Amino acid sequence: MKGRGAGLPSRSSIRGRQLPGVLPADERYVMVSGIPVSASTVKKPTMPAPPRIKPRSLADYLDALTKPVFQAGISWRVVDAKWPSMREAFHDFDPEWVAGLSTRHVDRLVKDPRVIRNRRKIEATVTNAHTMLELDGSHRGFRRYLRSFPDYDALSADLRRQFRFVGEHGAYSFLWTVSEPVPSYEEWASTRSTKTTG
């Protein structure tokens, strides 16, 4: 009778090649949806999920909507570091104050070191404050506006139509942050990928 292990390939003999049903010994794996995937092929997340809040005022909604506007094309770490001073410069994102900013005020904000000095995004924030106030008035509450759509996709599409510099990711991030119903990130990302490739 052969000894234990007799006839089996040694660990070194399978290193660097994959036998049927056998994972290479020199690889490190992570579990993705219950499937072991080589860690070298899994992209690390570049941005942590934003914290969720229960908005208590319209200013909370404008704050949550404006952050992904400024994060587009900029390191999220830079935006996170700047956000307390952004809140200060924008009067805690009071929509009426922001909506009342004149061109002269915008000129000053563009030169303000506390602010991410992107004129187009600052101007978009002023426009978005106007839009938010209008939707809040016409629906007797901004939350009522958000809840007036049959599903996530319809709401996301309208947010992108109504608000400047809000794309698919910005709409998802905003709705997640203000604790509105959203699909899981994996489901959302897979449907976006299907639309892009299809």
107-166 pLDDT per residue, tens: 999 999 999 999 999 999 999 999 999 999 999 999 999 999 999 999 999 999 999 999
Which is more confident, 134 or 186? Answer: 134
Show the domain range for 179: 58-197
pTM over 0.85: no
Mean pLDDT of all residues in the chain?
Answer: 82
CATH number assigned to the domain comprising residue 71: 1.10.340.30
One-letter amino acid at 186 equals E
Cβ partners under 8 Å of residue 148, min gap 6: 139
SS3 29: strand
Give the chain's domain count: 1
- How much is the average pLDDT of 19-32? 47
Confidence band of 31 (pLDDT split at 50, 70, 90): very low
pLDDT of residue 195: 60
Asked, for residue 28, whether it belongs to a domain, the answer is: no
